[in-house]
Structure 1
Amino acid sequence: MTADTPPDADETEATTDRAAVASDGELAERERALRNRDEPYARATVVRREPPVSANVGDRALVTADGDLHGWIGGAACAQSRVVSEAQSAIANDEPQLIGLAPDPDDVDRPGLAAFPMLCHSEGTLEIFVEPVIPATRLLVVGGSPIARSLVRLATELDVDVTIVDPEAADADLPDGTSVLSTLEPDEIAEAVGAGPFVVVASMGEFDARGVAAGVLSDAPYVGLVASDARATEVVDRAAGLLDRDPAAVRDAITNPAGVDIAARSAAEIATSLLAELVDVRADTGTSTASAIDSSADTDDAERAGSDDEESVTEASAIDPVCGMTVDPDDAPSVTHEGTTYYFCCPGCADSFRNEPDEYLEATEDGPMESV
């Protein structure tokens, strides 16, 4: 385009859309906020493009685990939807990936790249690198016992942020980077560590109940208590009193006896068994996140299949019968066919469906089409 040539309507609209999204400074601030809240997210960066597309190499966006996209990777709705779904998968699996979008996916398909059809009117080609950012596991160790100190030392070998609650820890020889809390108030402990840490309580009766209460207040996915059955019952009752909650609910929130059964006897062996259980629980927590996203996708597929008697597929979200994307009916193009309204990620998919509806409806009965 020369200086005398006016921009076409698509380019002008893309420039306007780009101006409406977050600037680099606003995107950096949003990323800092996500990190400060220990929320997982993914960075999506355009690494290759072929016109006509509105994105440029280096354009980037952030995608949260809930599927919110902030930034600019082009204005095509089908491209954004695909990036969001693949970013959520990357977050759930904690694995980066390179995705390609092209009118013919075979043109970009190669080892190490997941290729998808570009179904929007603009066509063009995009390759986008999706990098998940997963907060480090946080471990709260309550107590100054030999078991607690051994656990703190062993945990430094993993990617774990460790905080120990012990009024006397300031005088102890702790690994570099270990955070120390001297307060024994459960609400202050919970506020200091934030939501969702893994918690091991091993004060050997000194302040176990306060540690358990702090773990419950912080919504910990794991609260391991090192105690005999008799002492565990006493600890639960005292923690329930501190929290003003039902002892049965507190009991359900803790694991006792804590640790993997390896016939451990010494403090170091018991700490090893605790760390092994933490690794196992952490893996299960990641699997649960991935399963939740997969279950959501299964639900979306079920909604797309629907019933022949339904007059509309207008739920909180709908499935584009052409490309399989999840779309918001309130903002999506739609086509009514034989009394049923279908929603699409972009006008291109809507036009494709309008021209050959029976082809796409037949495909949805057997699963989403791979390409068109």
Structure 2
Amino acid sequence: MSRADLADRASELRRTRTPFVHATVVRAAHPTSAHAGDAALIHADGSIEGFVGGTCAEASVRAQALGVLLSGEPLLLRIRPDAATTPDEPGAVTVTNPCLSGGTLEIFLEPHRPAPRVVVVGSTPVARALAALGGPLGLHVELTDGDSTRPDPEDAALIVASHGRAEEPALEAALRAGVPYVGLVASRTRGSAVLAGLDVSEADRSRVHSPAGLDLGARTAGEIALSILAEMVTERAATVPTPVGVEPLTALDPVCGMTVGVSDSTLQAAYGGHTVHFCCEHCRTAFVAEPARFAG
């Protein structure tokens, strides 16, 4: 895959809000098959597009990239064939990969996670102001009508700013989906009437912010939108963030002793009712030939 193709693929993943890690070789000390500038994309399922080294290097990259995708923090990965002599430091980790051909690699892992999605129901001035202000805050704001609203548990918020149009269905859908922030733009009196008509539990009903937004004395559409986003930020800051995906599984290659990330892309073999994982085909072949030697 050429660099241009890889860049196009990365753009496509960002457009479809698909999380991935961009890995770039920043230093290669030969002998090694990778060169500075080589790059790859690592997906949440552990699959890799592109090239940052052979199967041995890929195993180390996969294991670290899955952790990077979970944390959202970039990482400089140093891969050495012998015992690491460089101490780990913030933002960098050194791993020993005895299967390498003898060279060393330094690979920068950059996570790309979709911006938190905020669904705004309505086309009112407040709705448009929310869309305009959300982008600079790192939010992906989608304007929709109530009938086509499809909230997701991973959404950051759903805000109804439709002034009476399709309010109840959108609010009920967001509450049932478990969206963390649900807001209704309405006066206190009308908001109470809307909430009373929702077909949800009292616990869910109490989760709706109505009137939505902090009491900043807002009057204009922009000021109201600002107060709502400020309330959202306050709520999110008080909540323990939910990581993207699940904690990556790792396993020990019984042949070389290397830690590998466990995914559908990881080489494996069955032995004694268990699945054994490997960093490369060489280790897998050695194990299959003499499983008792390595399984103990």
Q: 2:246 aligns with which of 284, 289, 293?
A: 293
Once the two structures are TM-superposed, the CA of residue 122 in structure 1 deviates from its matched residue by: 2.1
Higher-RCO chain (CA-CA 8 Å, sequence separation at least 6): 2
1:83 match: secondary structure: helix
Once the two structures are TM-superposed, the CA of residue 45 in structure 1 deviates from its matched residue by: 0.7
Unaligned residue ranges in structure 1 (runs of 5+):
1-21, 166-183, 237-246, 301-317, 362-372
Q: 1:205 aligns with which of 135, 141, 164?
A: 164
Change (3 A) 1:53 1:160: same
Unaligned residue ranges in structure 2 (runs of 5+):
none
Aligned partners of 2:284, 2:84: CA distance in 1, in Å?
19
Q: 1:118 matched to which residue of 2?
A: 97
Aligned partners of 1:75, 1:344: CA distance in 2, in Å?
14
Residues 120-168 of structure 1: CA deviation (Å, up to 9, x unaligned): 1523211101111222333333346676566456535412243445xxx
1:279 aligns with 2:257: no
Change (3 A) 1:52 1:336: farther
Q: Which has the higher strand share?
A: 2
Once the two structures are TM-superposed, the CA of residue 30 in structure 1 deviates from its matched residue by: 2.5
Matches within 5 A, 1:38-57: 38-57=17-36
1:289 match: secondary structure: coil
Aligned partners of 1:329, 1:139: CA distance in 2, in Å?
32
Q: Which has the higher helix share?
A: 1
Change (3 A) 1:331 1:253: farther
1:256 aligns with 2:208: yes
Change (3 A) 1:319 1:118: closer
Q: 1:186 matched to which residue of 2?
A: 147
Superposition RMSD in Å: 4.5
1:52 match: secondary structure: coil
Aligned partners of 1:39, 1:219: CA distance in 2, in Å?
21
- Contact between 1:224 and 1:257, CA under 8 Å: does it hold in 2? yes
Once the two structures are TM-superposed, the CA of residue 63 in structure 1 deviates from its matched residue by: 0.9
Q: Letter of the aligned partner of 2:258 in structure 1?
A: C
1:94 aligns with 2:72: yes
Change (3 A) 1:26 1:259: farther
- Contact between 2:22 and 2:111, CA under 8 Å: does it hold in 1? yes
> TM-score, normalization: structure 1?
0.59
Aligned partners of 1:225, 1:198: CA distance in 2, in Å?
11
Q: Letter of the aligned partner of 2:267 in structure 1?
A: A
Q: 1:326 aligns with which of 243, 261, 264?
A: 261
Report which of the two structures shows the higher radius of gyration computed on alpha carbons: 1
Once the two structures are TM-superposed, the CA of residue 264 in structure 1 deviates from its matched residue by: 5.5
1:231 aligns with 2:231: no
> TM-score, normalization: structure 2?
0.71
Q: 1:84 matched to which residue of 2?
A: 62
Residues 163-218 of structure 1: CA deviation (Å, up to 9, x unaligned): 445xxxxxxxxxxxxxxxxxx4622x659xxx947321133424423644786899
Aligned partners of 1:279, 1:214: CA distance in 2, in Å?
22
Q: Letter of the aligned partner of 1:94 in structure 2?
A: G
Residues 318-365 of structure 1: CA deviation (Å, up to 9, x unaligned): 65342232346997365969x97744223358869989858xx6xxxx
Aligned partners of 2:265, 2:142: CA distance in 1, in Å?
46
- Contact between 2:172 and 2:200, CA under 8 Å: does it hold in 1? no
Aligned partners of 2:119, 2:268: CA distance in 1, in Å?
49
- Contact between 2:158 and 2:182, CA under 8 Å: does it hold in 1? yes
Q: 1:62 matched to which residue of 2?
A: 41
Aligned partners of 2:36, 2:50: CA distance in 1, in Å?
14
Q: 1:345 matched to which residue of 2?
A: 279
Once the two structures are TM-superposed, the CA of residue 99 in structure 1 deviates from its matched residue by: 0.5
2:11 match: secondary structure: helix
- Contact between 2:146 and 2:165, CA under 8 Å: does it hold in 1? no
Q: How many residues align?
A: 282
Once the two structures are TM-superposed, the CA of residue 36 in structure 1 deviates from its matched residue by: 1.8
Aligned partners of 1:335, 1:121: CA distance in 2, in Å?
25
Aligned partners of 1:232, 1:62: CA distance in 2, in Å?
46
Residues 248-282 of structure 1: CA deviation (Å, up to 9, x unaligned): 49x95994135889556545776455324433566
Q: Letter of the aligned partner of 2:278 in structure 1?
A: F
Of residues 26-35 and 64-73 in structure 1, the stretch that sits farther from structure 2 once superposed is 26-35
Matches within 5 A, 1:133-212: 133-143=112-122, 148=127, 151-152=130-131, 154-164=133-143, 184=145, 186-187=147-148, 196=155, 198-209=157-168, 211-212=170-171
- Contact between 1:226 and 1:258, CA under 8 Å: does it hold in 2? yes
Residues 9-48 of structure 1: CA deviation (Å, up to 9, x unaligned): xxxxxxxxxxxxx344443342232112111211101111
Aligned partners of 1:200, 1:329: CA distance in 2, in Å?
38
Report sequence identity in percent: 32
Change (3 A) 1:161 1:332: closer
Change (3 A) 1:262 1:277: closer
Q: Letter of the aligned partner of 1:113 in structure 2?
A: A
Q: 1:31 matched to which residue of 2?
A: 10
